[in-house]
Amino acid sequence: MVVLPQPVTLENHISLIPTYKPVPVLTSHSIPVVNLTDPEAKTRIVKACEEFGFFKVVNHGVRPELMTRLEQEAIGFFALPQSLKNRAGPPEPYGYGNKRIGPNGDVGWIEYILLNANPQLSSPKTSAVFRQTPQIFRESVEEYMKEIKEVSYKVLEMVAEELGIEPRDTLSKMLRDEKSDSCLRLNHYPAAEEEAEKMVKVGFGEHTDPQIISVLRSNNTAGLQICVKDGSWVAVPPDHSSFFINVGDALQVMTNGRFKSVKHRVLADTRRSRISMIYFGGPPLSEKIAPLPCLVPEQDDWLYKEFTWSQYKSSAYKSKLGDYRLGLFEKQPLLTHKTIV
């Protein structure tokens, strides 16, 4: 177990947090939008996963009052005195974190809570967070996770149906499994003072999500950016009533690279704080991750080696935030030896 120093020690080292110049805003009509009640939803989802690795979901069925209530409870937690919040940290990986992101030197203009989303698996730090909050916080988390999981199941089953994956629950059953390794992350990006040179602080540096999919909801504060195919960074207009879905590394592998795990980051707003709630849908630790045989029948055509989710999670935890984690699991082309005469 890795034990991190107390996060409060970074308060006097804010200069460690990187900055960027603002980038152009990606207009809302450029973001793939999927209405989950649309008969063509499954086709639109697959197209978005292929082209962006990212899309917005509307008519998702999650109650608006539930999203608002969890946001307000999260705001209440982050407003607690620092000494009380620190009782739920440092994260291992669950619990409360402040500015440090992971154990490998990454920092950001952020504080967060990472909670175990599987009630079958106990986590002392998840319990520590709940001890610092009223009962309604825990109830809000549990109700929200129940409904957001249904969104993730529906999306993955639509993907399976469109791609012809049988059975239809091949992907979703990994998240439904009683041993699924899923989590809920609540991020708080405080408002940042605008600097003289018009630079803004990085809240969460560029990265991909390791799991199968991520389901994100935030308040109406800007900051989320994705990296598109030409390598440019573009900002995603916020929408507190909708969800944004990210393809994760594991899904990229299972589709043999047909879907792309989207690289993304968050920049801190200079005027308003940002609250985001992300459900990371992960498989059981023992689950084998490899290109699906129904999509890639011949192993010689696999772009990735087979690995367990536990192996990949361990490897990702040892890496820096922006590392290309899948590189270690790509299959190397066979070398042909020529006889020299």
Q: Residue 41: which of 28, 27, 61, 59 has the closest Cα?
A: 59
CB neighbours of residue 61 within 10 Å = 11
Pairing of strands 54-58, 243-247: antiparallel
Order across the sheet with 107-116: list the strands: 33-35, 54-58, 243-247, 213-218, 274-281, 183-189, 107-116, 95-100
**What does residue 316 show for φ and ψ, rounded to 5 degrees?**
-65, -40
Asked if 325 contacts 248 with a C-beta cutoff of 8 angstroms, the reply is no
Contacts (Cβ under 8 Å, ≥6 apart) of 255: 49, 163, 291, 292, 295
Tell me whether the omega of the peptide bond preceding residue 81 falls within 30 degrees of 0, making it cis.
no
Q: Which amino acid is at 235?
A: A
Beta strands in 152-192 (DSSP E): 183-189
Catalytic residue among 44, 185, 265, 274: 274
The amino acid at residue 186 is: L
Q: 39, exposed or middle or buried, with CB in 10 Å at 0-12, 13-18, 19+?
A: exposed
Contact criterion met (CB below 8 Å) for 199 and 268: no
Three-state secondary structure readout of 275-330 = EEEEEEECCECCCEECCCCCCCCCHHHCCECCEEHHHHHHHHHCCCCCCCHHHHHE
Closest CA to 291 of 332, 252, 241, 263: 252
Any catalytic annotation for residue 63? no
How many Cα atoms within 13 Å fall on the side-chain side of residue 234?
A: 17
Q: Which residues are catalytic?
A: 274
